[in-house]
């Protein structure tokens, strides 16, 4: 692999590549300087210094990659303002390439944050924050409307119950909340302006569910989940059977 294409960036000129046991240090600069001022858009530019900025990039051949980017500074002779040449491949929030951010987002869905951090050469917290940004962005783009038939149930994750909201008609999950507390439910439904679409709510007999529905969706009809009704009925029959059995004599208990 030659120095000119090691990054596979056609708009970068690579001058040096230093390889060690664990890293590639790539020294480069932008191939095409700006043709106009970013402030007043006139073409009267002169060089006004430079600085080196290190950008982390995707691993290569199992080694971490750091790009030492030589960014030129320019001064506009029309407005006298200065600026550094723009780096379109750099992430807006972090000193990383955009493709590295995308790599982290993909890998975080199947690997531990610690293993990714070790591969790239950054702190685990950085990986965690990037994945959190990704999740928030995906959540904003994902807009699932409240259905006509809403299901409210829970699932236990690490011994902690979490409320799960489902579209019963389409058999899809709408959302999963941090817990099943009444305050959490009220806060969630307060934000859902489309809750008026709900006509029926199927749920178990957990009181916070009932209270929330009656408060936030007063016109919806509550339907108790058959599974929970049968379960409670069986539990009541078992208790009654045990109570009756405990009062019987030995002979009558055998007949019973």
- Give the model's pLDDT for residue 246: 79
Q: Is the domain defined by 149-243 classed in CATH 3.30.420.10?
A: yes
77: its two tokens = 């002779």
- Give the model's pLDDT for residue 238: 85
What does the domain layout of the chain look like in residue ranges? Answer: 1-90, 97-141, 149-243
As a whole number, the mean pLDDT across the chain is 90
- Give the model's pLDDT for residue 248: 74
pLDDT at 85 over 90: yes
Q: Are 44 and 35 in contact (CB under 8 A)?
A: no
Burial of 5 (0-12, 13-18, 19+ CB in 10 A): exposed
Write the CB contacts of 50 (distance below 8 Å, at least 6 apart in sequence): 70, 71, 72, 73
Confidence band (pLDDT; 50, 70, 90) for 253?
A: low
Q: Are 27 and 47 in contact (CB under 8 A)?
A: no
Write the CB contacts of 178 (distance below 8 Å, at least 6 apart in sequence): 162, 184
Mean pLDDT to the nearest integer, 223-241: 79
């Amino acid at each position: 692999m030659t120095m000119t294409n090691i990054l596979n960036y056609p708009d970068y000129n690579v001058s040096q590549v230093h390889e060690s046991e664990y890293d590639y240090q790539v020294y480069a600069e932008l191939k095409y300087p700006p043709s106009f001022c970013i402030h007043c858009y006139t073409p009267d530019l002169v060089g006004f210094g430079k600085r080196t900025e290190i950008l982390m990039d995707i691993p290569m051949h199992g080694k971490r990659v750091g790009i030492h980017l030589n960014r030129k500074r320019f001064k506009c002779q029309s407005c006298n303002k200065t600026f550094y040449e723009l780096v379109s491949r750099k992430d807006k929030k972090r000193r990383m390439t955009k493709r590295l951010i995308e790599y982290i987002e993909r890998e975080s869905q199947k690997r531990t944050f610690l293993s990714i951090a070790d591969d790239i050469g950054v702190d685990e917290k950085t990986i965690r924050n990037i994945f959190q940004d990704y999740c928030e962005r995906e959540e904003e783009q994902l807009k699932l409307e409240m259905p006509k038939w809403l299901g409210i149930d829970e699932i236990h994750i690490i011994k902690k119950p979490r409320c799960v909201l489902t579209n019963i008609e389409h058999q899809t999950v709408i959302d999963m909340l941090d817990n099943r507390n009444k305050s959490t439910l009220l806060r969630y439904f307060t934000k859902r302006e489309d809750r008026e679409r709900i006509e029926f709510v199927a749920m178990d007999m957990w009181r916070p569910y009932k209270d929330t529905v009656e408060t936030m969706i007063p016109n919806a009809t509550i339907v108790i989940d058959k599974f929970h009704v049968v379960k409670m009925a069986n539990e009541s029959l078992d208790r009654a059977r045990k109570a009756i059995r405990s009062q019987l004599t030995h002979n009558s208990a055998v007949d019973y």
